[in-house]
Each structure stands twice: as C-alpha cells, then as structure tokens.
Structure 1
Amino acid sequence: MTPGARVQSSIEILDLVIAAARGGGAAADTILARWFGAHRFAGSKDRRAIREHVYAAIRLCGEVPASGRAAMVAVAATDPAVAAGFDGSPYGPPPIGAGEAPATPGVAPAWLADALAASGIDAAAQAALLARAPLDIRINRLRGGDIAIDNAVPIGGLPDALRLPSDTNVEQLPAFALGAIEVQDAGSQFVALACAAMPGERVVDLCAGAGGKTLALAAAMANDGAILATDTDRTRLQRLLPRAERAGVTIAETRLLNPGREAELLEDWHSAADLVLVDAPCSGTGTWRRNPEARWRLTPDRLARLTATQARLLDLAATLVRPGGRLVHVVCSLLDAEGRDQAEAFLARHPEWRGGQLNLPVGTAHGLGIRLDPAHHDTDGFFVAMMTRP
C-alpha cells in the first residue's frame, strides 16, 4: 500500500471507531481486526502503519472527532509523514484544504478532564494516562519456580512480576505454554497483593470477568482454600476455567449470576467469606493507555449508572463477608466518584464496618485507600480500599 492508501484506510477505520464510540459498538481493537480480516491485501507493514495512525489519532483527540478525516488532519499537523499522505492519489485522501478544520487535540472531553482534576489528577498525570502501556507478566508459582525470559526486567515491589519489551509475543514463549506466566499489568498485580489472600481462606471474586485476579489470588493462596469466581457476563466468565486449567488452579469455581438477582444465587455464601473482592464495572479511566477510545464512550449519565452499580455490589458483597473478614473495593479508575467517595459512602451506610490497613510497597494514600497511576507508579490507574467487618 502507498502512504496515501494507509492514511485513507486509517480514516475509514476511524469513522467506524467514532460511530462505535457514539453508539456503544465494538472496541477499536475489534474494529481493526475486522477491517484487516476483510482487507487481506494489507501486508504486515501496512497493518502496523495503519494501526499506529489510528491510535495516534485516538490518543490525540480528547473530544469525539467529527470524522475520521478530521482526526487524521489533526495528526498530520504534528506528523509530516501523515501530512504527506494527503496526496490526492487514486487510493489516498484528497489534500488538506486551506481552511479545513482539524479535530481538537486534548486529553479527554472537557467535563471528564475537569472531573479528573477535581480528583487530584493534574494535567501531567492526565497526559500520562494516554502514554503507551508496558507489557507486564506475572510468574505463576503454581507451575514452577524462577522463569528465564530474554530482556525481562523485574518490577520493584512485586516478586513475581516481570516487564517485557512491548513487542514480545507472550503466547509463543515456552513458559506461557506451560502455564508458568500470565499477562497482567503491574497495577493489577499490586491490587491482588493488597487482598492479602492466605492459604486455606474462602474467597469470592464477585466481578471476576475472565479471571486474571482469580488466578493471582489462587497463586497467593498456594492453591489451598476455595475461590468462587462470579460474573454476569457469560462470555467473559467462560474464559476463566481454561485459563485456570493451564495455570494449574484447582480451587476456583465459577458461577454465572443474573443481574439484579445476584443475592439469590449467593445465598450459600452468606457471611461465609474471609475475603470478597469487588473489582466492579467502572469507567476505566485508569486503562486509557490500553483503551484510549474509552474516554469517548463515557458520559456523565453512564458514570452515574456505574457508580450506582458499584454501590449496589459493595452492599451485596458485605452480606457475604464473615465476621472478622474483609472486603476489598477496586476500580481501574482515578475518579473519586468511583474510588475514594465510594469507599467512604460504603462506611457511611455500614457504620459498624471499619477501614482496613493496606500493606503495599507502592501507591499514594488517598482517602481510605491507595491510588496507583501511570505518572507516579508506571502502572495502570487503580484505586483500592479495604473494609473489615467486626
């Protein structure tokens, strides 16, 4: 493909991404994969260049762009190679007009940037949310001891974490085939560490998804005890058991829940868990390095629905914790509405509960919990707090 054809292809893909963001459609990665599947003439170098163009545009534009072309025109203003692609060639886009308006650069929609600022995330820390994410893995001690991987760098504070070059094909590594490593951001590993799960405990991972934290908890428990991993998303939850089998985890059981009727299906765990982890659905502001278009999807109304869901799930989790047990609230968000304020509101609703002590080697104290963010800790953004039942 010519440089112009790559730019035009990027424009077409961005139009699809923008439409999906406005209408709640597929994620950008999925749209790219579908586009490449339908345009097999694009070689590996073409795909790499197009992907870079698309994500450069997504990261650059804080507000949802008017069009894919407007987004790429904004990229062209800072990238001469992209500007040269607007060449009017047969497969390229028409030249940029003298008065043509580019999309407006920015970190996030104005209301969201203001909410982050009000939560103590300054302009530099907001910009860091859109940097390229590293590739981190967790060593799975259930499948062996030390792992030797070329160019791997240990991550401070995490004895079982390594950072790899971003272009590493993890699934081709022998250690992956053996189940000895799992891809998991350092921040997520710190969150699992904060749970302080111990061998022999009974644990509920209430919003387990595909099970990344379930597997980390099982390893911390030395595969001794019981973990109930639940979710309302069948597709995501179905991925957990094959992952658990590969990782050698035998203490995890999955249970699909019906939204709004979770308590009925968890009656057998009432006041029975030593630990309940609530990694609730959230805005994902801490994961923009991996999903930058997520900030185009968030609205004040959606944020309000998410915080209501989080509060409901925390109240549900409280019924599962045994006397003396603990509840860990986690969101991959840096908005206080989902983190600090949510934990404080829980204690206000449950005055008999107490804030717990988190023993983490990194993080910034924030309200009742600890916050991690890319600018200060080189991890995805997280808020984690522990509450204990007397």
Structure 2
Amino acid sequence: MTPAARTQAAIELLDGITAAARDGGAAADTLIARFFAARRYAGSKDRRAIRTLVYDAIRLIGERPPSGRAAMLALIKAQPALAETFDGSSYGPAKVDPGEAAARVGLAPAWLRKLLEASGIDDAELTALLGRAPLDIRVNTLMGSREDAAALFPGAEPVPAVPDALRLPADTPVETNPAANGGLVEVQDAGSQIVAAVAGAAPGMTVVDLCAGAGGKTLALAAAMTNQGRIVATDTDRARLQRLAPRAERAGVTIVESRLLDPNEEANALTDLTDAADVVLIDAPCSGTGTWRRNPEARWRLSQARLDRLIATQARLLDLGATLVRPGGAVVHIVCSLLDGEGAGQVAAFLARHPGWTVEPPQAGAGRPHGAGLRLTPAHDATDGFFVARLIRPC
C-alpha cells in the first residue's frame, strides 16, 4: 500500500471507531481486526503503520472527533510529513482544503478532565494515562515458578512488588507460547495482579468473585488459595463468563463454580451464600479511566449519564456483597478508574450506609493511600490505574 492509501485506511477506521464510540459499538481493537480480516491484501507493515496512525490520532484527541478525516488532520500538526499523503490520488485522501477544520487536540473531554483534576489527577498523571501500556503476564504458581516462565520468554523482567508478574517486550506473542497453552501464564497487567492480591485469599477460604467476567482475577485468587477452598465466580455477561471454564481447566484450577446472574436480580441466585463468604471481591463495572493506555477511545464513550449509572451499579453491588460476607470477613472494592466518585467517594458512601464497618488499609507494596483505599497510576506505579479498598464487616 502507498503512504496515501495507508492514511485513507486510517481515516476509514477512525470513522468506524468514532461511530462505535457514539453508539456503544465494538471496541477499536475489534474494529481494526475486522477491517484487516476483510483486506487480506494489506501486509504486516501496512497493518502496523495503519494501526499506529489510528492510535496516534485517538491519543491526540480528547473529545470525540466529528470524523476520521478531522482526526487525521489534527494528527498532521504533530506529524507534518503526513500532509503529503493527502494527495488526492486514487486510493488516498482528498487534498486538504485551506479552510478545513481539524479535530480539537486535548487529553480528555473538558467535563471529564475537571472530574479527574478534582480527584487529584494532575497533567503529568493524565498524560501518562495516554501512553502505551506494557505487556505483563501473571505466572500461575499452580503450574510452575516465575523462573520457569522467564526461561520461556526472552527479555522477560520481574515486576517489583508483584511476585508472580513478568514484564515482556512489546508484541511478544504470548498466546502462541507453550507457557500460555499449558496454563503456566496469563496476560494480566501488574496492577490487576496487585489489587487482586489485596483480597488476601488463602487456602480453605470461601471466596465470591462477584463480577468475574472472563475470570482473570478468579484464576489469580485460585492460585493464591493453592487450589484449596471454594470460589464462586459470578457475572451477568454470559459470553464473558463462558470463557472462564476453559481457562480454569488449562490453569489446573478445580475449585471454581461459575454462576450466570440476571442483571438487577443477582441476589436471587446467591441466597445460599448469605453470611458465608470469607472474602467478596467486587471488580465492579466502571468508567475504565485507568485503562486509557489500552483503550484510549474510551474517553470518547463516556458521558456523565453513563458515569452516573455506573456509580449507582457499584453502590448496589457493594450493598449486595455486604450481605454475602461473614462477620469479620472482607469486601474488596476494585475499580480500574481514577475518579473519586467510583473509588474513594464510593467507599465513603458505603461506610456511611453501613455503620460499624471498618477499613483495613491494603498492604500491597505499591500504590499510594487515597481516601480509605489505595490508588495505582501509570505515572507512579507503571501499571494501569486502579483504586482498591478492603472493607471489614463487624463481628
């Protein structure tokens, strides 16, 4: 493909990503994969170049752009040589009209930036949220040691304060490595591993993973429990939850029971666990502001109305978790968000609703205290952004 054709392809992809962000469609990675699946003629260098253009544009523009072309015109300001590809050729974009408007450059939508600033996120932290994320894996200690895994991944480095994590060179093909196929490793950000460890899961416990999704944290909990005890992994998303069983089998995990729940009716399927769990882990649905390094177009998807709905859901799930944990047990609230409304503020509201509950400061070896919990950020911890708090039910 010519440079002009690559630019035009990036524009078409950005049009699709912008529409999906507006309408709640598929994520950028999914749309990019579909785009190239329908264009087998694009070689690996073409795909890499186009993908880079797309993500460079997304990271540059805080507000959802009016079009893919407007997004690429904004990118010209950062990459002036790109202007030459707007040549009006058969497979390239039309020439630039002198009066043509480019999308607005920025770190985040104005309303969202204000909320982040009010939550203690300064410009340096916000800029780091839009960098490129590293590639981390969790070593499954049920299958082997970190040293065993490191021997299979050239260039792997240990992650400080995360005993089961390795950081790999970018673009390492983890999925095709025998370590992944055999269950020795799982791709998982170091920050995700840190907050899962705050649960304090131990052999013999009964643990409820209330928003298990595809089971990344569930499997980390099982390894911490040395595959002894009971984990009930629940979610309302059938497609995601169905991915847990094959992953657990591959990882040698046998203590997990999965339950598909009906949205807003979760309590009806969990009555047998009332007052029974040692730990309830709530990796709650959230805005994902801490994961912009991986999903920068998420800034274009969030609205105040959607954020309000997420905060309400989190509060409801925390109240549900409080009914499942035994006296003296812990509810662990996790969000991959840096907004206080979902983190510190959410926990403060829970404590106000539940007199007698206390906070146990997380001992994670990373992050910084924030409100009644712990916050991890890309700038400070080189992880995704997280908030985690450990709440203790009175005896």
In the superposition, the TM-score normalised over structure 1's length comes to 0.99
Single out whichever of 379-388 and 168-177 deviates more from structure 2.
168-177
1:258-269 to structure 2, matched below 5 A, reads 258-269=262-273
Cα offsets for 1:232-281 (capped at 9, x unmatched): 00000000010000011111110000011111100010000000000110
Structure 1 letter corresponding to 2:250: R
Shift of 1:222: 0.5
The secondary structure found in structure 2 opposite 1:380 is coil
Structure 2 letter corresponding to 1:115: L
1:1-390 to structure 2, matched below 5 A, reads 1-145=1-145, 146-147=147-148, 148=151, 149-390=153-394
The secondary structure found in structure 1 opposite 2:72 is helix
Cα offsets for 1:92-115 (capped at 9, x unmatched): 011222222111111110000110
Structure 1 letter corresponding to 2:104: T
Distance between the aligned counterparts of 1:106 and 1:375, measured in 2? 18
Shift of 1:82: 2.1
The secondary structure found in structure 2 opposite 1:95 is coil
Distance between the aligned counterparts of 2:180 and 2:24, measured in 1? 34
Distance between the aligned counterparts of 1:171 and 1:38, measured in 2? 23
Cα offsets for 1:98-136 (capped at 9, x unmatched): 222111111110000110000000011011101000000
Distance between the aligned counterparts of 1:167 and 1:261, measured in 2? 41
Structure 2 letter corresponding to 1:207: C
Distance between the aligned counterparts of 2:354 and 2:361, measured in 1? 18
Distance between the aligned counterparts of 2:279 and 2:125, measured in 1? 32
Distance between the aligned counterparts of 1:82 and 1:169, measured in 2? 30
Distance between the aligned counterparts of 1:388 and 1:238, measured in 2? 31
The secondary structure found in structure 1 opposite 2:192 is helix
Structure 1 letter corresponding to 2:279: L
Pairwise CA RMSD: 0.8
Cα offsets for 1:270-306 (capped at 9, x unmatched): 0000000001100000000000001100000000000
Which structure 2 segments of 5+ residues have no match?
none
Single out whichever of 257-266 and 96-105 deviates more from structure 2.
96-105
Single out whichever of 220-229 and 174-183 deviates more from structure 2.
174-183
The secondary structure found in structure 2 opposite 1:365 is strand
In the superposition, the TM-score normalised over structure 2's length comes to 0.98
Single out whichever of 140-149 and 69-78 deviates more from structure 2.
140-149
Structure 2 letter corresponding to 1:356: E
Distance between the aligned counterparts of 1:366 and 1:46, measured in 2? 44
Single out whichever of 30-39 and 59-68 deviates more from structure 2.
30-39
Structure 2 letter corresponding to 1:29: D
Distance between the aligned counterparts of 1:30 and 1:40, measured in 2? 16
The secondary structure found in structure 2 opposite 1:5 is helix
Percent identity, please.
66
Distance between the aligned counterparts of 1:132 and 1:87, measured in 2? 30
Structure 2 letter corresponding to 1:102: A
Structure 2 letter corresponding to 1:166: A
Distance between the aligned counterparts of 1:91 and 1:360, measured in 2? 53
Distance between the aligned counterparts of 2:318 and 2:48, measured in 1? 42
The secondary structure found in structure 2 opposite 1:141 is coil
Cα offsets for 1:305-346 (capped at 9, x unmatched): 000000000000000000110000000000000000000100
Structure 1 letter corresponding to 2:127: A
Distance between the aligned counterparts of 1:162 and 1:81, measured in 2? 38
The secondary structure found in structure 1 opposite 2:70 is helix
Distance between the aligned counterparts of 1:99 and 1:159, measured in 2? 56
Distance between the aligned counterparts of 1:134 and 1:177, measured in 2? 21
Distance between the aligned counterparts of 2:335 and 2:84, measured in 1? 42
Distance between the aligned counterparts of 1:260 and 1:251, measured in 2? 26
Distance between the aligned counterparts of 1:221 and 1:83, measured in 2? 56
Shift of 1:171: 1.1
The secondary structure found in structure 1 opposite 2:163 is coil
